[in-house]
Amino acid sequence: MMSRLGTEIRRSVDTLPTVVKTDHPFSSRRRAFALALATALAGALFLAPSAFADFLVPESGGSPNADQISDLYTWVLVVAAIVFVGVEGALIWCIVKYRRKKNPVADQIHGNTNLEIGWTVGAAVVLVILGVITFVMLPGIRNPPNSSAAGLDLSGPQYAVKGGGKQPPNGRSLNIQVNGQQYVWRFTYPDNTPNNTFDNVFAYEQMVVPTDTTVTLNIKSQDVAHSWWIPELGGKFDAIPGYTNYTWFKISKPGVYKGQCAELCGRNHANMVAEVRAVTPAQYRVWYAAKATMIKAANAAAAKARPTIGTPQSEATPADVTP
């Protein structure tokens, strides 16, 4: 009796159903459709002219130095993509070729001298390539060019910039003082009296410049650390109290380029916006003359009203001070 029962149990165990899989894979038709759809979407994105414009590289299009920075990032991205595809391709190949199903017992590899030399030399070659590309393109990023013939006439003495930062080969540019202060940017333009800047033309928030003209900037701060950044016109430069940073740009066509302070400088940091408006040289001369007239009239009105203001408390006698 017991032997018969054991036989029945073994027979039942031997005929148990296989484990039912919980993951139901897509049919071959569904997999093919999903792959085709993903390929079509990826192709549409890569073929669209502006789908990835300035997505993986810095913004550009406003000034030659910004374009050079963007091109440099593109070269680095291409080299990095080649390295990524090579490394990931080798990894996937190893996973497929030496998968457990095909190789139940793992091969014991104790090193490969040629392979180790190869990837060491390969890494060095990648660094050399990136270094050569960087140093070839760096002068175009750092050194401002001369203004174009269609730009502003820079023959006046106020445009002969001496000292401080890189200058064009002919030493002439529209040199604007950029002063960061909580929470606004002030732009002071050059005139014929370099030793007296109190009567210079100035503007807040919006800098107006002529097209086809090399503009150099002296960036300072009068209170805390700020950071000047108009993405389409080049890199970001800090404005530090007691220190001057320098940059440049050259805009070829009229337009408005926006940015803002890129360094947390206080509670109203988000409101510290900046804007560069490029106009034709003729329009710039009209704007400059109108601005100079407004400032001269305001200074005259202030000088006329100043004597009518009461004696400042700091200069009053003790008897005049109200407790």
- The pLDDT tens digits of the residues spanning 300-322 come to 888 888 888 865 555 444 443 33
Asked if residue 165 and residue 294 are part of one domain, the reply reads yes
The domain containing residue 50 runs over which residues? 45-104+116-142
Asked if residue 171 and residue 288 are part of one domain, the reply reads yes
CATH number at residue 200: 2.60.40.420
Residues with Cβ within 8 Å of 47's Cβ and at least 6 positions away in sequence, in order, are none
Quote the pLDDT of residue 13.
45
Contact 186, 200 (CB under 8 A): no
CA 35 from chain centre, in angstroms, equals: 35
Beta bridge partners of 217: 176, 247
**318 part of a folded domain:** no
- The pLDDT tens digits of the residues spanning 185-227 come to 999 999 877 666 677 899 999 999 999 999 999 999 999 999 9
**308 part of a folded domain:** no
Domains of the chain: total: 2
Positive or negative: CA dihedral 304, 305, 311, 312: negative
Query: Which range (11-15, 70-74, 154-158, 248-252) has the least confidence?
Result: 11-15
Asked if residue 198 and residue 137 are part of one domain, the reply reads no
Q: What is the pTM of this model?
A: 0.72
Quote the pLDDT of residue 145.
93
**14 part of a folded domain:** no
Distance CA 85, CA 69 (A): 24
- The pLDDT tens digits of the residues spanning 2-19 come to 555 555 545 554 454 444
Asked if residue 161 and residue 138 are part of one domain, the reply reads no
**152 part of a folded domain:** no
Contact 241, 213 (CB under 8 A): no
